[in-house]
């Protein structure tokens, strides 16, 4: 059961990286902080300083470490300026110098001439590039926004979906009262952090707010405290609430795991019928714990079938036994 995902390119301003890593600004042109970053990869320009520009992508941030710095140090000032000019003429978003290395005067002059942002960090190249790549992957991850509720239950990120009025927000508020944490209500921003990981969060302007019919808007953080909310959470399972349909056959065993595909990532899916008398908060708590057990390799339904000596592929037999 896939979402109708729309592939889009995302970008964010360079200033976000400067603020995140508290980078020293050696030189930045006017409005340079608003330069848009749209490539999730970086480049070490050693080959470019040596004159090789085939496959060079000028959309990438350039990171200069000790190796590149040492190479430039071996060049005559006029040759060094020429090599630096050649690189900065491509007008990439920024050049970041690591290890708090000294900045060549030729580099500053060329940066001003080509209006290229020049930054510096005291972190080592390997540590900084690892952090930066992870940051870029998260900021530029494919994403969609879906109507639903995201809540952390016993460490499991549970995305609750369903038609308007089925009781998603009411279930969420009961779970919050029981000690679990709200991430998003009404609109859930879902990012594909990796090929196997989805991370959900709330839009900034509605974060921590819930709508309860008959009461109105409440702020979960103000009402229940900061321990009742969380900024983002990995999505471990999807629960779809629907009004009880007596003509529909619901899964009573749970031998097989059903999935929903979101942004190309398969996530375990449960469909839970809603009717008066069902305590949805408790059901979701059990569902979250059971999902964790399945990830640890234990499936209660298969264990029961094994105890009864029944093949786990023959779930319909259980219906005949009224179990």
Q: Is residue 323 part of a domain?
A: no
Q: Which of 66, 112, 147, 278 is catalytic?
A: 147
| Predicted TM-score (pTM) of this structure | 0.73
User: Catalytic: 207?
Assistant: no
Q: Among 76, 133, 88, 130, which residue's Cα sits nearest to residue 112?
A: 88
Q: Among 138, 126, 262, which residue's Cα sits nearest to residue 194?
A: 138
Is 148 in the same domain as 279?
yes
Which structure tokens are listed for 234?
């990995």
Domain boundary among 139, 165, 189: 139
Is 276 in the same domain as 185?
yes
User: Catalytic: 252?
Assistant: yes
Domain boundary among 139, 160, 176: 139
Can you say whether residue 322 is alpha, beta or left, with left for phi > 0 and alpha for psi between -120 and 50 degrees?
Answer: left
Q: Among 27, 59, 232, which residue's Cα sits nearest to residue 138?
A: 232
- What is the rounded distance in angstroms from the CA atom of residue 153 to the CA atom of residue 138? 23
Measured at the CA of 263, the angle between CA 260 and CA 267, to 5 degrees, comes to: 30
What φ, ψ does residue 26 adopt, rounded to 5°?
Answer: -80, -45
Instruction: List the CATH number of the domain containing 179.
Output: 3.40.50.300
Per-residue pLDDT reduced to its tens digit, 69-127: 999 999 999 999 999 999 999 999 999 999 999 999 999 999 999 999 999 999 999 99
* Confidence (pLDDT) at 254: 67
Residues 6 or more apart in contact with residue 189 via CB below 8 angstroms: 143, 144, 145, 200, 201, 202, 203
Q: Which of 168, 180, 181, 192 is catalytic?
A: 168
Contacts 24+ apart (CB under 8 A), 305-312: 305/255, 312/255
Domain boundary among 99, 118, 139: 139
User: Catalytic: 147?
Assistant: yes
Per-residue pLDDT reduced to its tens digit, 218-234: 899 999 999 999 999 99
* Confidence (pLDDT) at 301: 78
* Confidence (pLDDT) at 160: 95
User: Catalytic: 168?
Assistant: yes
- Domain containing 81 equals 12-139
Q: Is residue 7 part of a domain?
A: no
**What per-residue string of b and e applies to 290-317 under the rule 16 or more CB within 10 Å gives b?**
bbbebeeeebebeeebeeeeeeeeebee
Question: What residues in the chain have per-residue pLDDT under 50?
Answer: 1-7, 315, 317-318, 320-323
Number of domains comprising the chain: 2
Is 207 in the same domain as 109?
no
Is 229 in the same domain as 198?
yes
Is 178 in the same domain as 275?
yes
* Confidence (pLDDT) at 1: 44
Contacts 24+ apart (CB under 8 A), 53-59: 53/86, 56/90, 58/90, 58/91, 58/92, 59/92, 59/93
- What is the rounded distance in angstroms from the CA atom of residue 241 to the CA atom of residue 139? 31
21: buried, middle or exposed (CB in 10 Å: 19+, 13-18, 0-12)? Answer: middle
| CA quadruple 219, 242, 152, 281: dihedral, nearest 10 | 80
Q: Is residue 317 part of a domain?
A: no
Q: Which of 91, 112, 178, 252 is catalytic?
A: 252
* Confidence (pLDDT) at 306: 79
Instruction: List the CATH number of the domain containing 57.
Output: 3.40.1390.20
Is 168 in the same domain as 85?
no
Is 26 in the same domain as 156?
no
Q: Which of 5, 39, 85, 186 is catalytic?
A: 186
Is 290 in the same domain as 163?
yes
Is 99 in the same domain as 182?
no
Residues 6 or more apart in contact with residue 307 via CB below 8 angstroms: none
- What is the rounded distance in angstroms from the CA atom of residue 36 to the CA atom of residue 137? 15
């Amino acid at each position: 059961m896939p979402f109708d995902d729309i592939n889009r390119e995302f970008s964010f301003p360079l200033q976000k990286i400067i603020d995140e890593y508290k980078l020293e600004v050696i030189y930045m042109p006017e409005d340079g902080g608003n330069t848009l970053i749209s490539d999730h990869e970086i480049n070490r320009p050693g080959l470019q300083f040596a004159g090789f520009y085939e496959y060079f992508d000028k959309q990438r941030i350039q990171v200069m470490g000790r190796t590149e710095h040492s190479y430039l140090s071996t060049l005559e000032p006029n040759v060094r300026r020429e090599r630096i000019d050649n690189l900065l003429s491509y007008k990439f978003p920024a050049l970041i110098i690591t290890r708090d290395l000294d900045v060549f005067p030729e580099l500053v002059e060329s940066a001003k001439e080509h209006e290229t942002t020049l930054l510096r960090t005291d972190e080592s190249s390997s540590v900084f590039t690892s952090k930066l790549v992870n940051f870029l992957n998260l900021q530029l991850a494919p994403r969609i926004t879906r109507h639903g509720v995201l809540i952390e239950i016993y460490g499991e990120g549970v995305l609750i979906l369903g038609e308007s009025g089925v009781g998603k927000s009411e279930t969420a508020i009961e779970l919050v009262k029981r000690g679990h944490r709200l991430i998003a209500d009404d609109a859930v921003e879902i990012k594909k952090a990796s090929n196997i990981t989805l991370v959900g969060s709330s839009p900034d302007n509605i974060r921590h707010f819930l709508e309860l019919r008959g009461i109105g808007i409440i702020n979960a953080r103000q009402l229940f405290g900061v321990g009742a909310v969380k900024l983002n959470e990995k999505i471990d399972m999807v629960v779809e609430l629907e009004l009880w349909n007596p003509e529909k056959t619901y899964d009573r065993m749970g031998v097989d795991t059903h999935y929903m595909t979101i942004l190309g990532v398969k996530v375990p899916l449960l469909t839970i019928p809603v009717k008066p008398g069902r305590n949805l908060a408790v059901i979701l708590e059990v569902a979250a714990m059971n999902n964790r057990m399945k990830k640890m390799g234990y499936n209660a339904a298969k264990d029961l079938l094994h105890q009864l000596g029944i093949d786990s592929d023959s779930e319909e037999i259980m219906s005949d036994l009224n179990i």
